[in-house]
Amino acid sequence: MLSHVTTPQDLDDRFRETLAALPAAGRRRDPADPVSDDAPLTGAQVLDLFDAQVTSRQLDLAGRWLRSFGEGFYTIGSAGHEGNAAVAAALRPTDPALLHYRSGAFYCVRAAQVAADSASTADPKPPDAEPPDAEPTDSEPPDSELTHAERSNSEPTDSEPTDAQPIGSESPTGGFAPYVDAARDVLRGMVASSQEPVAGGRHKVFGRADLAIVPTTSTIASHLPRAVGMGLAVQRLRRLDNAGRRTGVGSGAVPAAAPWPPDAIVVCSFGDASVNHASATAAFNTAGWYDHAKLRIPVLFVCEDNGLGISVRSPEGWVEATLRARPGIRYFSADGADPVQTYAVAAEAAAWVRRTRRPAVLHLRTVRLMGHAGADAESAYRSAAELAEDLDRDPVVATARLLVHAGVATGEELLARYDETGWQVRRLAEEVLGEPKLASAADVVSALAPRRPVRVARAVGDAAARASGPGAGARAEAFGGKPPELAGPMTLAQSINAALADGMLDHPQMAIFGEDVAAKGGVYGVTKGLRDRFGAARVFDTLLDETSVLGLGLGAGLAGMLPVPEIQYLAYLHNAEDQLRGEAATMQFFSRGAFRNPMVVRVAGLAYQEGFGGHFHNDNSVAVLRDVPGLVVAVPARPDDAAPMLRTCLASAAVDGSVCVFVEPIALYHTRDLYAEGDGEWLAGYPEPGAWVSGHVPIGRARVYRVGSADDLTIITFGNGVRMSLRAAAVLAEEGVGTRVVDLRWLAPLPVADIIRESSATGRVLVVDETRRSGGVGEGVIAALVDAGYVGAARRVAGVDSFVPLGPAARHVLVSAEAITDGARTLLAR
């Protein structure tokens, strides 16, 4: 019977044979009784788990069936992992969950939990019911937050009978009914239906906002750092006091409500192979680090260990040894083929995390049936004996065996239930086949990164009104009685510092964090003094790991905060860039905006630091940022641009959920002069709130400087290139050449309309790109000109395709003002 790979037919045949051979128990057990002596679950509850497991199994079989005739596009299934149904039952439906791709049974249980809660809360409450805004007590959580078992084991009420639906009643489809919606969701994902409730046909994921299930990409372990960030945010939102730390010292701004209850725990599942991934290591280390520092992270990691990562085996004992060795993370383990044990251990682990607010890991031993995915030929790396052993540990069979031995049901009754569910799932599959798919590129990208510039501008105006109105007193107090507009001309670093302070005042949920940002104020002093003004709960240092810094930001944004993490140097971003690409930028895309992770990532970057060297501190590579769809990339060059651009990024994050990267040119942080030493031409005053609206800088709009007649040449640049180009333009002006210098300000999206307009005005374009010639910003500018049909002359001055070397050697590979002048003369001579 067994082929070289566990096929759907193999699995179905073995299941039928096993159930048919199960001997009936000597007596029938009341489903309301425990399924066995001292078991934490009743027979009815285990039967519910069986129905969820069977629904998941039938969905896997349907996925292979759909694929067989080209109508299914996803065949990674949950077969062998259905024990996670008991994990879901042990949790509250309000506990946010980030699930890996073998979580079908978990998803079914969570959907049924939420549906049951919705039905119960729809009933009118008696007159003496507790008011809806009453605070729950520690000993008695509100009914909507009880676990599946807590609800079933609670005292009976008139509207909530405890007797389970008996097997063989008038409704043979009753076992599948609670899971219809979940099954339809999963099938829609398999066929890429645009009506799928989360991703809308963009990807097959487990996620739904009303289920508190956050969709994750299939990148191995990349969601674990986010889970840690969510746990940290849940705790910080819970602990932040009402004396002004959270409310912006009385600024009048209202903090956003946290999306989950204050005692929620975060659940994150992953496979055993993911244990070895750098992202997982970062997440475990961060959770343990915070625990060691007595800062609480209520996260339950669930490692579903089937012993394989596609074809690569996890060495015997390695996963347990690795998980047990994680400092600060309590270890629990269970057999995923035993639903009672799995439930008991999962409930114990969840209760421990909820009570102590500390991280734990549940090591759930599972098997993998039907291979990694539909195209996986297991015969290349597994023996028939191994496959047979896994079939013997089929968790759905194990649950069925428990029910039959306990006398809750017979094998025939369970098989009838299995067949009825299979028929219903197949019927649903045929229904969703006819649903529409995404019909255009516009449909695909509609959820990627919404832009509502009018609302963003309005948000900036509202912030100005609060700063000059109800929040004026708090603002004066925060700035020590001397607001920044009265402080005189500022450097770039000082302007950013002041804008961050104004942002903290206006956004109660905003937090600034990263390496060295708190006590020290950052390597360059940009965040100096902010912790003293706003407290350690809102300005704090993190451990030195960029993946974790971004993961904390991702989780905090999802939890309702407005995170502003700092990456100390641009070169340090590259070891963590998947947190931006695979997690941050995809969140709205894969959830149609139901979930979002607003974030403004500050990065000290680019080159030209004097006396401080090497490519780790002088990195001029931004290609990885410009390649991420939907990401906003800002590069302020001057102090009078930095503050309004930062305000725009914060407003865009708050309004549209944007993920913004704010690249700050290190070499310009403390620059004061432009043309000659002591001229102070690179300093600028900080605008008062009344000028914020008129000085608003929309995303994707450039700034133009006109030198002389400005009719002969257009220089398009950004960052350090702005200062060098203005110096070059001054030299050219002495030669009678009029130049307009265009500061892009935004590298993504590029200000294409401004580029075309200013280039067409002169017909000669010099693109000054301090990044590299290959993969640099200049390539995008030239492409925009070509696409628009520009027919004038164009030339590039760009950095050499090289890392930035130490000391004076850097001058050989970086753009200089002299090179810009020479390039302009060459262009003008054509």
Query: Catalytic site residues?
Result: 617
Backbone angles phi, psi at 174, to 5 degrees: -60, -30
State how far Cα 648 lies from the chain centre: 21
Extract the tokens encoding 330: 């309590």
Asked whether the bond before 749 is cis by omega within 30 degrees of 0, the reply is: yes
Note whether 490 and 484 are within 8 A (CB).
Answer: yes
Extract the tokens encoding 365: 């031993």
Helices (H), 154-292: 180-190, 224-239, 278-292
What totals of helices (H) and strands (E) does the chain contain, helices first?
27, 20
What is the spatial distance between Cα 540 and Cα 516, in angstroms, rounded to a whole number?
8
Extract the tokens encoding 240: 């932040």
Helices (H), 217-333: 224-239, 278-292, 318-324
What is the spatial distance between Cα 652 and Cα 598, in angstroms, rounded to a whole number?
8
SS3 644: helix
Angle at the Cα of 198 from the Cα atoms of 193 and 202, rounded to 5 degrees: 50
Percent helix, percent strand, percent coil in the chain, to nearest 5: 45, 15, 45
Note whether 717 and 706 are within 8 A (CB).
Answer: no
Neighbouring C-alpha atoms within 13 Å toward the C-beta of 580: 28
Kindly state the DSSP code that residue 365 receives in the 8-state scheme: E
The Cβ of residue 8 has, within 10 Å, a number of other Cβ atoms equal to 20
Helix 411-433 vs helix 395-406: crossing angle, to nearest 10: 140
Enclosing H/E stretch for 347:
helix 339-356
Kindly state the DSSP code that residue 521 receives in the 8-state scheme: -
CB neighbour list of residue 253: distance below 8 Å, 6 or more residues apart: 247, 466, 471, 505, 506, 507, 508
CA distances from 416 to 44, 413, 649, 812 (A): 17, 5, 58, 77
What is the spatial distance between Cα 205 and Cα 715, in angstroms, rounded to a whole number?
46
User: Of 515, 521, 519, which is closest to residue 552 (Cα–Cα)?
Assistant: 515
Helix 8-21 vs helix 411-433: crossing angle, to nearest 10: 150
Q: 3-state secondary structure string, 796-826?
A: EEEECCCCCCCHHHHHHCCCCHHHHHHHHHH
Note whether 632 and 600 are within 8 A (CB).
Answer: no
- 493-508 burial code (b ≥16 CB/10 A, e <16): bbbbbbbbbbbbbbbb
What is the spatial distance between Cα 342 and Cα 580, in angstroms, rounded to a whole number?
35
Neighbouring C-alpha atoms within 13 Å toward the C-beta of 554: 30
What is the spatial distance between Cα 381 and Cα 377, in angstroms, rounded to a whole number?
8
Helix 492-506 vs helix 639-656: crossing angle, to nearest 10: 30
Extract the tokens encoding 508: 């109660």
Q: Is 127 exposed, middle or buried (0-12, 13-18, 19+ CB in 10 A)?
A: exposed
